[in-house]
Chains A and B, each alone.
Chain A
Amino acid sequence: MTQVKRIAGGQIDRTRTLHFSFDGQSLTGHPGDTLASALLANNIRLMGRSFKYHRPRGVFSAGSEEPNALVELRPGARQEPNTRATVAELFDGLTAQSQNRWPNLRFDALSINDRLNAFFTAGFYYKTFMWPAVFWEKLYEPIIRRAAGLGSLSRLDDPDSYDKGFLHCDLLIIGAGPAGLMAALTAGRSGARVILADEDFRMGGRLNAETYGIGDQAGADWAALVLEELATLPSVRLMSRTTILGAFDHGIFSAVERVSDHLAVPLPGKPRQTLWRIYAKRSINAGGATERPIAFENNDRPGIMLAGALRAYANRWGVSVGDRIAVFTNNDDGLRTALDLQAKGVDVVAVIDPRKDGALLPGIRHLRGATVVDTAGRLGLTSITVRLGNGKAETLAVSALGVSGGWNPNLNITSHHRSRPVWNADITAFVPGADGPPGLTSAGAASGAMSTHAALATGQAQALSVLQALGFAHRTDVLPKAEDAPLNLLPLWYAPGGEGRAWIDQQNDVTVKDIKLAHQENMVSVEHMKRYTTLGMATDQGKTGNVLGLALMAELTGQSIPETGTTIYRPPYTPVALGALAGRARGQDFKPLRLTPSHHWAKEQGATFVEVGYWLRTQWLPRPGETTWRQSVDREVLATRKSVGICDVTTLGKIDIQGTDAGAFLDRVYANTFSTLPVGKCRYGLMLREDGMVFDDGTTARLAPHEYVMTTTTANAVAVFRHLEFCRQVLWPDMDVQLISTTEAWAQYSVAGPNARKLLEKIVDQDISDTALPYMGCGAVTIGGLRARIFRISFSGELAYEIAVPTRYGDGLIRRLVAEGAAFEAVVYGTEALGVMRVEKGHVAGNELNGQSTALNMGLGKMVSRKKDSIGMPLSQREAMVAEDGYRLVGVMPVDKTAALSAGSHLLDVGAEPVAANDGGWLTSMVWSPHLGSLIALAYLKAGDQKLGQRMRAVNFMTKQDTLVEIVSPQFIDPQGDRLRG
C-alpha cells in the first residue's frame, strides 16, 4: 500500500520520497507533506484517541487548530507528546506513534469509558468519590491519574538546544495569507521595516489550499511571486515556521521559530527552536479564520473533518481523504469542497445543505434543507444518516465527510489584553474588539473580511494606515482581481438527531449533552460552562469548539449569543515548547557564573567550590590524605588561628562613595555615624531597611576626606547599591554624592592569624606595623610598585588584614601569598572555615541577617543612633521591636561536648512541653569548633541576654535530636578582642 489516496496536483515534490513510520508501520510521503497529509495519502484515517471516552479519532483539520490527530513524534529523548500531525512537517526518517491508548490504537482498553458514557457526564466527579474519605487518595484518584493526560514525556533530558533573540520592526504582520502578503507588499515597498511571520512552512495561507485565482494566476502562484518580491526588499524579514504566540504590552510580541523541527535532528550548533521577542511599532493580525463544525450525533469519527480541510488535503497535498465523500455545509464556502473534489475526479456522493433556498450545484446531488443526523463506522466513517428536507432519513455510504458551519476569525491574539470580541451578525461570528492591544489591527478573514478580495483590500488598507501613522511615503497600488463571493451562511450549530452524543470539543469529549447538563445545573455563565464541562481546555484551546458551545448555551437560555457572553483567549496562540521559552538558560547555563580572582589557582589545588549567589567560591581545599570535608576545614581553621590563613573575599560588594556630602550621606544610610570617621580608618556599619530591620552590614573605610569605600555582604551587593541610588537620587537629590561599584575591580584577600602581619610585611612595600597601621586602619600601599589597598579588619577575630590589588593581578597575588606563606605554614581557607571562625567570634552573617531581625535582636542595638535621622531609625523604635523579651543573639554549646547539635533546632526550657507556646528561639548557625572541641551555635533566643548561663534543650524533630545546651555569650573566643589588636 503506497499512498493509495494520492490524486493529481498539490504542492508536494513527487520526485522525492520520504520514508516514515506510524505505530511501527513503514510508510512513504513527499516533501511538502505534513504527517497528517502523508498518513491520509496512505489511507490511514485513525490517528488517535480522545481524552475521556477514548473514541477513535482521525484528522479534523489541516492546521494548528487540530484537536484530534495528536501523536508522539520522534523517538527516545526527543519524544514530543501531543504533536499535531496536521502541522508536523514530514521528514525522512520521521517516527510517530499514537498516544492515550493501550494496548494499541485499534483496540484500546479504556474505550470502555465510551460504553460507560452515561456516567461520565460533565462534572460527574464532583458528585461522587467522597466516601469513604480516605479512598480518594488511595483508590479513586490514582485510577484517575493513571488515565490522565494524552502523550507522555520521555523523562530524559531534552538533548536539543534552544535560542532566543530580539527583533525590531515598524510593522509586524501576523499571517502570510492574501491579507498579510498584501500588507507586507504595501509596507515593504514603502521602505518600512516589516516582519512577516507565518506558522506554516509554506507561506500563502489559504491560497495554497484553494483553486481560485488572484488576477490571472492561481492564488498559490500569486503568493509565490509576492514572496519573491518581498525577499528582495532589504527592510522585509520573512519568517516562516514562526508562530506569533502572544501580544504583550507596548508592542512586544513573542514568537517561536521552529528552526529544526522539519529535520530529524538539528544541524550541529543549531537550535531546535528560537524564541524571538519582537518590538513592533505597529502590528497587523492577518491570521485568517478557522472553520467551525456543526454538531450532530457521532460527528467525531475518523473521516469526518472540516470541509476546508478536506479540500486543502486535495488541493495542497494531492490527497483524497475518501473515495466517496459528502459535504455538510450551511454556507457557500463549503460548496467549494464539493466542487473542487468533484473536479479532481473524486466521487462526491452528496452535499447536505440545511439552507432551503438558493441554486443547486450542477452535477452533484445537492440536498437542500437537509442535515446530517448520525454516522457509522467504528474506526472510520462508513456512512452518514441524512435527514432530508422532507423529513425522511437516508443513509449514504461515504468514507469522508466535510463539515462547514462557517468560519471564525482568528482573533485570538487581539484578545490577549483581555479585549472582548464583538459579535458580527453579518458573518455570524465574533470579530476582534476595538479595544485590543494598542497598535494592533486586523485585516482579512481575521477581521471578518471573508472574501479574497476583501482580504487583499483590508491588508492593503491597514498597511497604508500604518505607513501614514509612522510617516512613511506610500502609494496605493491597484489591487489584483480576486473572488468576492458572500458566504450566504444560515446559522446552524447543532443538527439534532436521536439520543446519541454530538461532539463540540472533540479532544476533551464535550458533547451537546454536557452543555445541556451545565444549563440544567445553572452553570450558565460562559466561564462556568467552560470550567464545568472543560470545553476549550484542551490543547486546541477551543479553536474549533468554543463558539459552538457558546451558541448552544445561547439557544438553551433563550438569549442571543452576545448576551450569553464571549470567550477570550490567552497566550500562547498555539502550545509552545517550554524549551523555547527557556532558551539558552539551562543546565550550567541557567545563570551566569562569577569566578573569583583565585578561582584558577584554587581549581589547580583541587578545591571544592560552592555557589554563593552567582559566585563560585572556594568552600574548602582538601590536602592529600584528607578524606572528609571536616578534616580540611578543621585544619584550615586551626592553622589560621595558630599562624595565618588566606581567604578570597573579593565577592563582598564594594561601592565607591565620593563627594563632599559623602560622610553626611553615609550617616543617613547607616544606623551609626560615619562623618566623624578619620581618613585612613574603617568602621563597621549597620544598614537598616526603612522598616527598621537590619538590611546589611559591612565595614566602610574613609580613604580621603570625600572618598569612602563601602563593603556590603556578597548577597546584598546589588540591592544595597540600588538602595543607595534611591537615597541619592530620590530622597536627597541635592547631596553631592557619586556612587560606583568597584566589586569587580579589586581582587581582595583576607590574611588572618597571628602571623598575618609577618606574611604581609614580606609582600607589601610599606610599613604596616601596628603603629603605622593600627586596628581598623586602612590605606593605599604598593606591592612591588603595584598599586594596592590594605584594610586592617577582621571577620575571624584574629589579627587580620584585607589586601586588594587590581583584579588581573589577583591570581598572581594568591600565588605570591601562598609562596611567601609557606614559611608560616599558611593555609588558604574557604567559606566553611570562614563560617566556623565567624561563629566562634559571634559575628552575624546571612543566617542571622534574615530580614526579620533588628539591631537589638543581634545585640547591636546601641549602634542605632537616635540623635540623627537615618533610614530605618524611626520605625526601629516601635514597641514590639524594642521589647525587652524579644530575641537576642546568644551562643549555644552542648553540655555534653560529644552531643549532636544542628542549626534550625528550636530552644525549649528543660522539661517544657514541645509545643509552640514554649518555643524559645532557634539555632541560626551551627559549626564544629576545632578550637573549642565542640559543636557550637548562634541562636536567637527570647530574652536571651537574660539567660546567659542557663541550660535549655535544643530540639530538632527532623533528626530526633534533643540536646541539653548551655546558653553562652555569642563570642566564643577572645571576647575582649585582644587578638584583633595584636
Chain B
Amino acid sequence: MIINHPLLGPRDAQEFIYLGDASLIARPDGLTASPQAFLDYAYQRTNPAGLHRELWYHEQGDRSWLVVTRNTVTHEITLVELARDVARREGRSK
C-alpha cells in the first residue's frame, strides 16, 4: 500500500506501524470517566467493512502519527491527515 503522507507525499505503507481505529484518539479522562466508557474505549471496535479512520505511525519516516481514511474492503485510501491536527479538531489539547 501507499500512504500519501500530508508532508512527505506518497510513502510505502511498509514504513508505517498500524495501531487501529482512530477512535483511540478520544481517550476518556481516567479520573472522571465511567469504567464502562473506558472499557469501550480500550476494547470495543466498530470494525467496519468499508471506510475506516485509522491510526498509522511513520516509524521509518518522520515519526508522525497519521489518521488514514481507508476502505477495508478495497484498501482504497481517500484521506490522510496528521493525527495531531485531527486530535486538536476533536477537542484534544493538553
Asked if A691 and B42 sit within 8 Å, CB to CB, the answer is yes
Q: Which residues of chain A have C-beta atoms less than 8 A from B84's C-beta? A: 729-730, 733
> B79 an interface residue at 8 Å Cβ cutoff?
no
Report the bound CA distance from A371 to B32 in whole Å.
83
Q: Given A251-B2, A252-B1, A729-B84, A734 and B94 touching (CB < 8 A)?
A: yes
Name the one of B10, B38, B55, B75 contacting A730, with C-beta atoms under 8 angstroms.
B55
Q: Which residues of chain A have C-beta atoms less than 8 A from B82's C-beta? A: 729
Asked if A252 and B30 sit within 8 Å, CB to CB, the answer is no
Q: Mark A230-273, 1 if CB is under 8 A from B, else 0.
A: 00000000000000000011111000000000000000000000
| A interface, size bucket | 20 to 34
Report the bound CA distance from A573 to B63 in whole Å.
36
The winner among B29, B74, B77 for most chain A CB atoms within 10 A is: B74
Q: Given A722-B59, A733-B87, A875-B38, A249 and B2 touching (CB < 8 A)?
A: yes
> A677 an interface residue at 8 Å Cβ cutoff?
no
Q: In the assembled complex, how far is the CB of residue B1 from the closest CB belonging to chain A, in whole angstroms?
A: 4
Name the one of A248, A730, A873 contacting B65, with C-beta atoms under 8 angstroms.
A730
> A874 an interface residue at 8 Å Cβ cutoff?
yes
Q: Which residues of chain A have C-beta atoms less than 8 A from B35's C-beta? A: 874, 878
Q: Which residues of chain B have C-beta atoms less than 8 A from A248's C-beta? A: 1
Residue of B nearest to A725 (CB): B63
> B27 an interface residue at 8 Å Cβ cutoff?
yes
Q: In the assembled complex, how far is the CB of residue A436 from the closest CB belonging to chain B, in whole angstroms?
A: 12
Q: Which residues of chain A have C-beta atoms less than 8 A from B94's C-beta? A: 661, 664, 732, 734-735
Q: Which residues of chain B have C-beta atoms less than 8 A from A868's C-beta? A: 31
Q: In the assembled complex, how far is the CB of residue B56 from the closest CB belonging to chain A, in whole angstroms?
A: 11
Name the one of B30, B76, B87 contacting A869, with C-beta atoms under 8 angstroms.
B30
Residue of B nearest to A876 (CB): B30
Q: Which residues of chain B have C-beta atoms less than 8 A from A722's C-beta? A: 17, 57, 59
Q: In the assembled complex, how far is the CB of residue B83 from the closest CB belonging to chain A, in whole angstroms?
A: 5
Q: In the assembled complex, how far is the CB of residue A747 from the closest CB belonging to chain B, in whole angstroms?
A: 24
Report the bound CA distance from A734 to B93 in whole Å.
5
Q: In the assembled complex, how far is the CB of residue A659 from the closest CB belonging to chain B, in whole angstroms?
A: 12
> B88 an interface residue at 8 Å Cβ cutoff?
yes
Q: Which residues of chain B have C-beta atoms less than 8 A from A735's C-beta? A: 94
Which residues, 712 to 751 on A, are CB-close (under 8 Å) to B?
718, 722, 725-726, 729-735
Q: In the assembled complex, how far is the CB of residue B29 from the closest CB belonging to chain A, in whole angstroms?
A: 6
Which residues, 2 to 38 on B, are CB-close (under 8 Å) to A?
2, 10, 12-13, 17, 19, 24-25, 27-31, 33, 35, 38
Asked if A869 and B29 sit within 8 Å, CB to CB, the answer is yes
> A690 an interface residue at 8 Å Cβ cutoff?
yes
Report the bound CA distance from A725 to B19 in whole Å.
12
Residue of A nearest to B76 (CB): A438
Name the one of B1, B10, B27, B65 contacting A249, with C-beta atoms under 8 angstroms.
B1
Q: Which residues of chain A have C-beta atoms less than 8 A from B45's C-beta? A: none
Name the one of B12, B64, B74, B88 contacting A734, with C-beta atoms under 8 angstroms.
B88
Q: Mark B53-86, 1 if CB is under 8 A from A, else 0.
A: 0010101000111000000001111000011100
Report the bound CA distance from A691 to B35 in whole Å.
12
Residue of B nearest to A741 (CB): B63
Q: Given A722-B59, A875-B42, A732 and B2 touching (CB < 8 A)?
A: no
Residue of A nearest to B2 (CB): A250
Asked if A730 and B77 sit within 8 Å, CB to CB, the answer is no
Report the bound CA distance from A875 to B41 in whole Å.
11
> A905 an interface residue at 8 Å Cβ cutoff?
no
Q: In the assembled complex, how far is the CB of residue B88 from the closest CB belonging to chain A, in whole angstroms?
A: 5
> A279 an interface residue at 8 Å Cβ cutoff?
yes
Asked if B83 and A249 sit within 8 Å, CB to CB, the answer is no
Asked if B63 and A874 sit within 8 Å, CB to CB, the answer is no
Asked if A873 and B30 sit within 8 Å, CB to CB, the answer is yes
| B interface, size bucket | 35 or more
Q: In the assembled complex, how far is the CB of residue B67 from the closest CB belonging to chain A, in whole angstroms?
A: 9
Report the bound CA distance from A731 to B94 in whole Å.
8
Q: Mark A174-218, 1 if CB is under 8 A from B, else 0.
A: 000000000000000000000000000000000000000000000
Report the bound CA distance from A664 to B63 in whole Å.
22
Q: Given A734-B93, A875-B38, A869 and B31 touching (CB < 8 A)?
A: yes
Q: In the assembled complex, how far is the CB of residue A281 from the closest CB belonging to chain B, in whole angstroms?
A: 10
Q: Which residues of chain A have C-beta atoms less than 8 A from B75's C-beta? A: 249-250
Residue of A nearest to B39 (CB): A875
Q: In the assembled complex, how far is the CB of residue A594 from the closest CB belonging to chain B, in whole angstroms?
A: 16
Report the bound CA distance from A735 to B38 in whole Å.
22
Q: Which residues of chain A have C-beta atoms less than 8 A from B83's C-beta? A: 729-730
Q: Which residues of chain B have C-beta atoms less than 8 A from A249's C-beta? A: 1-2, 13, 75
Which residues, 275 to 302 on A, are CB-close (under 8 Å) to B?
279
Residue of A nearest to B33 (CB): A874
Q: In the assembled complex, how far is the CB of residue A882 from the closest CB belonging to chain B, in whole angstroms?
A: 13
Q: Given A726-B57, A869-B31, A874-B33, A733 and B1 touching (CB < 8 A)?
A: no
> A100 an interface residue at 8 Å Cβ cutoff?
no
Q: Which residues of chain A have C-beta atoms less than 8 A from B33's C-beta? A: 874
Asked if A726 and B30 sit within 8 Å, CB to CB, the answer is no
Asked if B30 and A730 sit within 8 Å, CB to CB, the answer is no
Name the one of B13, B27, B65, B77 contacting A729, with C-beta atoms under 8 angstroms.
B65
Report the bound CA distance from A732 to B84 in whole Å.
9
The winner among B28, B64, B65, B83 for most chain A CB atoms within 10 A is: B65
Report the bound CA distance from A250 to B78 in whole Å.
12
Report the bound CA distance from A251 to B12 in whole Å.
11
> A870 an interface residue at 8 Å Cβ cutoff?
yes
Residue of B nearest to A726 (CB): B65
Q: Which residues of chain B have C-beta atoms less than 8 A from A733's C-beta? A: 84, 87-88, 92-93
Asked if A250 and B1 sit within 8 Å, CB to CB, the answer is yes
Q: Which residues of chain A have C-beta atoms less than 8 A from B12's C-beta? A: 252, 279
Asked if A731 and B1 sit within 8 Å, CB to CB, the answer is no
Asked if A731 and B25 sit within 8 Å, CB to CB, the answer is yes
Residue of A nearest to B64 (CB): A729
Q: Which residues of chain B have C-beta atoms less than 8 A from A251's C-beta? A: 2
Asked if B30 and A874 sit within 8 Å, CB to CB, the answer is yes
Asked if B93 and A731 sit within 8 Å, CB to CB, the answer is no
Q: Which residues of chain A have C-beta atoms less than 8 A from B28's C-beta? A: 874
Q: In the assembled complex, how far is the CB of residue B12 from the closest CB belonging to chain A, in whole angstroms?
A: 8
Q: Given A252-B2, A725-B63, A730 and B29 touching (CB < 8 A)?
A: no
Asked if B93 and A250 sit within 8 Å, CB to CB, the answer is no
Q: Mark A621-665, 1 if CB is under 8 A from B, else 0.
A: 000000000000000000000000000000000000000010010
Asked if A729 and B30 sit within 8 Å, CB to CB, the answer is no
Q: In the assembled complex, how far is the CB of residue B2 from the closest CB belonging to chain A, in whole angstroms?
A: 4
Report the bound CA distance from A150 to B10 in whole Å.
44
Residue of B nearest to A869 (CB): B30
Q: Mark A454-485, 1 if CB is under 8 A from B, else 0.
A: 00000000000000000000000000000000
Q: Which residues of chain B have C-beta atoms less than 8 A from A725's C-beta? A: 57, 63, 65
Report the bound CA distance from A418 to B88 in whole Å.
39
Report the bound CA distance from A732 to B30 in whole Å.
14
Asked if B93 and A732 sit within 8 Å, CB to CB, the answer is yes
Asked if A731 and B92 sit within 8 Å, CB to CB, the answer is yes
Residue of B nearest to A277 (CB): B12
Residue of B nearest to A250 (CB): B2
Report the bound CA distance from A248 to B14 in whole Å.
13
Residue of A nearest to B30 (CB): A869
Q: Which residues of chain B have C-beta atoms less than 8 A from A726's C-beta? A: 19, 55, 57, 65
The winner among B17, B42, B77 for most chain A CB atoms within 10 A is: B42
Residue of A nearest to B58 (CB): A725
Q: Given A869-B30, A874-B30, A732 and B92 touching (CB < 8 A)?
A: yes
* 16 further interface pairs, Cβ-Cβ under 8 Å (given A732-B93, A875-B38): A250-B75, A250-B77, A252-B1, A417-B74, A438-B76, A664-B94, A690-B42, A722-B57, A726-B55, A729-B65, A730-B65, A731-B25, A731-B87, A731-B92, A732-B92, A874-B35
Can you show 24 pairs from A to B with CB atoms below 8 A apart? A249-B13, A250-B1, A250-B75, A252-B2, A252-B12, A438-B76, A661-B94, A664-B94, A690-B27, A725-B57, A729-B65, A730-B24, A730-B25, A730-B55, A730-B83, A730-B84, A731-B27, A733-B84, A733-B88, A733-B93, A869-B29, A874-B30, A874-B33, A874-B38
The 4 nearest A-B residue pairs measured at CB: A869-B30, A250-B2, A874-B30, A734-B93
